Amino acid sequence: MRDGRNVWYILTDTTARDNAKALGLNFSAKLRYSQVGRAVREGELDRDAGLVYDAGTVDFGPRRALV
């Protein structure tokens, strides 16, 4: 995050067929149309090739357990 916190994310889909094949991701040609409203977050690459976001962390709490 821009404030220095680390945030983890998972890549599942991409609009680039070759990128999907190389990384083992799902190819989704229509994913390019997902940028409507607040459906996506934009990030910037820093000098170390890390993605930096202004907002949008995920709260995975509370911790749940299935017994």
Q: Confirm whether 67 is domain-assigned.
A: no
**Quick check: 57 and 6 in contact, CB under 8 A?**
no
Q: Is residue 66 part of a domain?
A: no
Going from the C-alpha of 33 to that of each of 2, 36, 50, the distances in angstroms are 26, 7, 25
Residues 6+ apart with CB under 8 A from 56: 7, 41
Note whether residue 64 is domain-resident. Answer: no
The domain containing residue 8 runs over which residues? Answer: 1-35+43-53
Per-residue model confidence as pLDDT tens digits over 12-62: 999 999 999 999 999 999 988 887 877 777 889 999 988 898 888 877 788
Report d(CA 43, CA 55) in Å as an integer: 9
Structurally, how many domains does the chain consist of? 1
- Confirm whether 65 is domain-assigned: no
> Rounded distance, CA 1 to CA 3, Å?
5
